[in-house]
Amino acid sequence: MRKLVTYFVVIATIIWSLGLAAVVPASAAYTPAAGDLIKTATDPAVYYIDADGKRNLFVNSVTFWTWYSGSWSALKMGNDSVALNVISQADFDSLSVGGHVVVRPGTKLIKFQNSPKVYVVSTGSELREVVTSGGDAAVAEALFGTGYASKVITIQNGFENDYTKGTALTSSSSLPDGSLIKYSGSEDIYYIEDGKKRLVADDAFIANGFASSSVVTVATTMTYTAGTSIAAEEAALTTVSGTAATTVATAGSVAVALASDTPAAGLALTSAQRVGFTKVNFTASSDGDAVIDSLVVQRTGIGADTDFGTIILMDASGNVIGNSQTLNSSHQVTFSTDLTIPKGTTKSYTLAANMATSGLGGGNVPSLSLVTVTPKGSTVVSGTLPIVGNIMTINSALTIGTVTVTATGASYNPTAATKQVGTENYIFASLKATANSTEDIQIESIRWYQASTTADSDITGLELLQDGVTVIGTGSLVDREVIFSFATPVKIVKGNSKEFSIRGDIVNGSGRVASFGPSKITDWKVKGLTYNSYLNPTYDNSVEPYLIPGPLATIDKGSITFSKGTITSTNVAPSVTNQELSAFYVQVIGEPVIVTRIVADVATGSAKIINVKIVDENGTTIAGPTDPGNAGVNPVGFATSTDTITFPVGTNKYTIKGDLVSSAVWATNASLAIRLDSAKTTAKGETTNLSITASPSTFLTLDTLTVKSAALTVKTSASPAVQNVVRGNPTPWTFANFTLDTSGSGEDIKVTQLTIKHTTTAPGYFGDIQNITLYDGDTALNTPVQGSSETADSTYGSTATTTITFLSALTIPKNTVKTLTLKGSISGSASTSGVGTPQENTFQHKFGIVRAGNITATGAGTGTSVTATVTASEGQAQSISAGGTLRYYAAGANPGNQILVGNTTGNVVGVINVEALYENIEITDIGMTFNDAAGATDVSSVDITDGTTTWNIPISGTNATISPAAGQLIIPVAAVKTLTVKANTSDSVGGGAGKVAASGDSFTITFSNIAAKGTSSGNTGTSNPALTITGQDTVTNSNYIYASKPTIGNFTSSLGTGNERTLFQFTMTADAKGDVGFYKVTFDITTGANSGVTTTNLKFIENPGGSQVDLTYRETNYSIPEIDGRPELIVAGEGGTLRYNIVFNTQAYTASPSWEYRIIPAGASKTFALKGDVGKSTSGNYSYSIALIGDNAAAAIGDATTTDALANDSFIWSDLNFGNNTGTATATNEWTNGYLLFATSTQSATF
């Protein structure tokens, strides 16, 4: 590489992807030379000049810095200084286009935005995968360590084709060509080339531009053949490489034309931004993609260049393509960003302008014209140029709004701070946007730029907050920027402010700094809402770069915190090795922490504990064993480990273990305290290599242990309860449960044998119980014992014993309660006295443990024999029964009396519980009897379901039987199963010819003739002995059937004094099966004694508040004088309850009125209200209530007049089952009362 001399002073740093822009003039005429770095004054992108004089683009800043070092004001390649040349646009356009510069091999791991895969970059731009698409990073961690993510950089998707894909690496692979390595324990650095390792001299390392951060420490098992050493700079290593120039080989063509929706003629205001002038359609033929190399735009029309600030090119979404350009002396700008038009598609681009901030020529009418389209490759352009859109009239008199974006006064803006890796939801910066008083504005997008040293991957989970609370956007850093675009723009009313904060999670980057802010004037996309003109904010900085550096967040090293954990038991025993002494949690944040010294304080009596070690959750020893220190070595009682431990990021549990020496004399219940002296911990960050102080800074108190000997407590459980059990049951029966408790033991206990007492009510029947087996959960502990052995032991008397010898010793951990279950099978010929209750049965069997000698146990660690503490018990009596019992009874959910509607299904008419006692019972038949002969015609079929299976039977008479298939309906012993009975009603209900069921019919169902059998005994209800079945003749409640029915509800009122008060209001809804008639309603009005309340002008209204109808005609029970045709019901001073019966008539008053009814159509609702004028004749508080009266008993079907004469006639309705909807329907026998529709409902008030 030729040495370069800096001949041009760069007075403004530029980082194209960082958002910094040059502010220096272009140099004199430029002559390209290999190795040059160039850019233009208006475009931040940087290019490399290759040996052919072509310009090659650095696709982003991270790629650039893999080749160069230093700073933008002092660039270096190895020992050589390098200049960044700012050249004129003309010189730039004269250069041939090369390719893209790729990441320098061996420097960074890379990934692309579209995939989680991570690659090593080898020579020849070859990529070797180390992290899979599923995120498996095992290979990356094996080759680069757990901190591999700090080496990963992200490349834009569009540059993926700059690389080729090689075979994926494995955990045992050698690093590929281009890598820099050194072996563990050695400082020699090697460069890998052609599969060989080349030793790099110290001077050559610098001369070739290598970086220490690129060197990977590898195991000595990674071997290479030795190559020649690298002693000096080698051009092959320092020459920037990349892809070849792209040749567009399409045969397509592109048609260029003015878009029909080009911006209409309008106004261009002072300072207005993104003003569209001309929209152009580019349509590619179906032959191939078309690529446009450059566009030339010219200012035309009547105007001046000074009317314009800059010219921009926007895509169809309004995004700016490339950079803004300033008109040259020919009134033109050139856009050199390649535009690709996929074959067979049309893309639209708009020529737009950012208008000048002052000096515009009011009344000028400029336009923007597309004058040149230069294709790339073989693309052919067709169309007539120039293409000119509409003119825009310059208006310098109107003033558009402004928005000020500033950190000053932002409530949520933090101060500079040091934050640990692992900090979540940290607000990095906050900016306040204020609209001036000219117009409302809306913010459509905000771009934040990270201007300091953190990598994109250091900060994740970015969110944009509005006013510190509302999350209005999420995103992630790509090339140090994140853009939040709003589907619904954020509006700021003129004169008001809103605050916008960026927050995220710090996941890496110890030692680096983060600072967020805007860097370009276009970072905030803002529109004024009066003139719909875009405008640029005023930032804290007045010239570009408009960077408002946010508060610096310095990312600190990691942290390590110790906290108390839990152990199985705080009891310990002498002479037992590897006992749990304590446990603690280690929380590591930010980076793995390497600990080289950790101290446990075993407090008093340190000489009694040895072999102290720390194990992880997998049981792996990570430190120790070590003994507590002695005088002259470490403080007495401190166990100090100097093993190197790497604690991973996260929270993990660790356990301290040790041995209590057997030679020591331990007092009974001696106390032993364990602490962790975290202040003496020596730690450093694995990534940062910085020293870390552990927390807490003092002793962490862990557990206080109690020294105990081996102990065991045994009890016979009260479960199972005293009960019957059927002989011959094929399922092993649980006869007893035993609890073995080690909570008072200092060590685990091994049990090898139990001797169990077997008691019966008479001798000689012990053999009825066979296959006696003891279980630990589902695990059998012994070979089944066939019957107990009778003994004449004086302790037992005339009883028997069963000795359970375990197949292998059962170890019960200390501080544990273990339950063991004794099961046995009952002979089918076992002696029994019948099927009575357990207390009645004379053949009982009990199993229990009655003395300490029944248990053989030892300490698991010491082998010491243990004498158990036994609570003596013979166990619970299990009585042998000849057969089971089936009970059935009405469940709590059994419905009461109810109304059913014809032609409906799934009507629940009964809910029955069936219960099996002593054995599983299978139901084979369920008989039903309809107690009303008419009920058989009211119901077409019945369903019975147990929630899983449904049985259906058609009803053709008064009796019916459902017979489940074999095995379908089995009730487990001691279980209750619920059966739900559902009636499917007749589809022909009502009066008149052809109707099967009459309206008003009622029925109940009796469940009888239930047949069942015991699955163990085989007994049935008719066998000898018989299965006991109780609950015969269980009856449902009454079910009344109608063709339709009303639903009454929504009871409300607005009680109080005043005219036309709503005293009571309700809704009446007809079932969807048919219309409902409404004939009469009754209310009670109650006032207190000596009440001063009056109620007059009562009215019963249909559809109050709408097209209301007054249904009131008379008051039937009282001779109350009528006022204006209306009765005055309540008068001052009367008090008590008065009933108001309302029969409907909407006609004028006559002495002999004809009563009417109202129809509620099928599925519809109507609202009815009783209204009246309520007043007070005297002052005071008086109680007042009104009740809608229901009926308490059923009424026979009759005509309306007959029904109105019954004792229960408060509410009269009809299902209109004869189909007579005329005025004569009241004379038809189809009316009934309000029984079961609603309960009397009362509304009350005091006034």
| Residue 571 to residues 638, 664, 819, Cα–Cα distance (Å) | 21, 17, 21
Pair of tokens at residue 709: 């000997």
Please determine, for residue 13, whether its predicted confidence score (pLDDT) is greater than 70. no
CA distance 346 to 418: 52
Q: What is the pLDDT of residue 256?
A: 94
Residues 645/595, Cβ–Cβ less than 8 Å: yes
CB atoms within 10 A of CB 889: 14
What are the tens digits of pLDDT across the range 931-963? 875 666 888 899 999 999 999 999 888 888 999
Longest dimension (CA), the chain: 131
User: What pLDDT does residue 369 have?
Assistant: 95
Backbone φ/ψ region at 495: left (φ over 0), alpha (ψ -120 to 50), beta: left
User: pLDDT at position 422, please?
Assistant: 76
Task: For residue 25, give the DSSP letter.
Answer: P
Surface-to-core class of residue 691, CB atoms within 10 Å of its CB (0-12 exposed, 13-18 middle, 19+ buried):
exposed
Comparing CA positions, the residue from 955, 943, 952, 940 lying closest to residue 986 is 940
Q: What is the CATH number of domain 403-556?
A: 2.60.40
Indicate the pairing of strand 898-901 with strand 365-375: unpaired
Range among 152-156, 336-340, 916-920, 977-981 with highest mean pLDDT value = 977-981
Q: How far apart are CA 943 and CA 908, in angstroms?
A: 9
Q: Mean pLDDT lowest for which of 366-380, 621-635, 1122-1136?
A: 1122-1136
Read off φ and ψ for residue 89, nearest 5 degrees: -65, -40
DSSP strand pairing (380-382 vs 253-258): parallel
Residue 755 pairs in a beta bridge with 803
Could you tell me the end-to-end alpha-carbon distance of the chain, in angstroms, rounded to an integer? 103
Evaluate the omega torsion of the peptide bond into residue 366 and state whether it is cis, within 30 degrees of 0.
no
* Secondary structure letter of residue 1204 according to DSSP: H
All residues at 6 or more sequence positions from 592 whose CB lies less than 8 Å from its CB, including other chains: 146, 147, 558, 646, 647, 648, 649, 685, 686, 687
CB-count burial class (<10 Å; 0-12, 13-18, 19+) for 247 = exposed
CATH node for 253-395: 2.60.40.2030
Contact assessment for residue 954 and residue 983, using Cβ atoms and an 8 Å cutoff: no
Contact between residue 700 and residue 675 where contact means Cβ atoms under 8 Å apart: yes
Count the neighbouring beta carbons within 10 Å of the beta carbon of residue 11.
10
For residues 1131 and 1138, the answer to whether their CB atoms sit within 8 Å is no
Distance of alpha carbon 670 from alpha carbon 804, whole angstroms: 36
Q: Are 805 and 773 in contact (CB under 8 A)?
A: no
Enclosing H/E stretch for 144: helix 138-144
At 278-291, the pLDDT tens digits run: 999 999 998 888 88
pLDDT at position 544: 63
User: What is the percentage of the chain residues whose pLDDT exceeds 70?
Assistant: 89
* Strand 713-716 relative to strand 869-871, pairing: parallel
β-pair type (699-707, 670-677): antiparallel
- H-only helix segments in 956-1029: none
pLDDT of residue 1044: 94
pLDDT digits (tens, 9 = 90+) for 1194-1236: 998 999 999 999 999 999 999 998 877 777 889 999 999 999 9
773 close to 785: Cβ distance less than 8 angstroms: yes
Measure the CA–CA gap between 1086 and 1186, rounded to whole angstroms: 6
Name the average pLDDT for the chain: 84
CA distance 431 to 523: 13
Judged by average pLDDT, the poorest of 5-19, 43-57, 130-144 is: 5-19
Which tens digit of pLDDT belongs to each residue from 758-805?
888 767 778 888 899 999 999 999 988 887 665 544 343 357 777 888
pLDDT for residue 550: 67
How far apart are the C-alpha atoms of 555 and 925, rounded to whole Å?
A: 78
Per-residue pLDDT tens digits for 697-727: 888 888 888 888 899 999 999 999 888 888 8
CA contacts within 13 A on the Cβ side of 309: 21
Type of residue at 1033: D
Q: Which residues contact 335 (CB under 8 A, 6 or more apart)?
A: 294, 295, 297, 313, 321, 322, 325
Angle at 325 between CA 303 and CA 516, to 5 degrees: 130
The pLDDT value given to residue 61: 83
In angstroms, the CA 656 to CA 928 distance is: 71
Other Cβ atoms less than 10 A from the Cβ of 482: the count is: 24
Give 999's pLDDT tier (boundaries 50, 70, 90).
confident
- For residues 825 and 1186, what is the distance between their CA atoms, to the nearest angstrom? 70
Predicted local confidence at residue 443, as pLDDT: 94
Does the pLDDT at position 992 exceed 70? no
- pLDDT value of position 99: 87
pLDDT band at 901 (very low <50, low <70, confident <90, very high): very high
Sheet holding 417-420, edge to edge: 417-420, 553-556, 513-514
Chosen CATH of 559-705 out of 3.90.320, 2.60.40, 1.10.10, 1.10.287 = 2.60.40
CATH architecture of the domain with residue range 885-1042: Sandwich (2.60)
Q: What is the per-residue pLDDT for 638?
A: 57
Check whether 22 has a pLDDT greater than 50.
no
Q: Name the residue ranges covered by the structural domains of the chain.
A: 37-238, 253-395, 403-556, 559-705, 713-877, 885-1042, 1046-1246
**Separation CA 639–CA 606 (nearest Å):** 9
104: pLDDT strictly greater than 50: yes
Q: Distance between CA 1002 and CA 900 in Å, rounded?
A: 9
| Residue predicted with more confidence, 791 or 138 | 138
CA dist list (Å): 83 to 63, 76, 100, 761: 18, 9, 20, 109
pLDDT tens per residue across span 530-541: 988 998 888 887
Token reading at 350: 């708009």
Structure token digits, residue 164: 């080729």
Measured CA to CA, the distance from residue 671 to residue 121 in angstroms comes to: 61
Cβ within 8 Å of residue 958, ≥6 positions away: 929, 930, 933, 935, 936
Average pLDDT over residues 503-523: 83
Whole-number pLDDT of residue 936: 67
Whether the CB-CB separation of 254 and 282 falls below 8 Å is answered with yes
What pTM was estimated for this model as a whole? 0.48
Q: Which of 113-122, 718-727, 1024-1033 has the lowest mean pLDDT?
A: 1024-1033
Res. 506: pLDDT tops 50: yes
Mean pLDDT of 446-458: 85
Left (φ > 0), alpha (ψ -120 to 50) or beta: where does 413 sit? beta
> Of the candidates 550, 548, 546, which has an alpha carbon nearest to the alpha carbon of residue 417?
550
549 against 1233, higher pLDDT: 1233
The token pair at 1134 is 């009367």
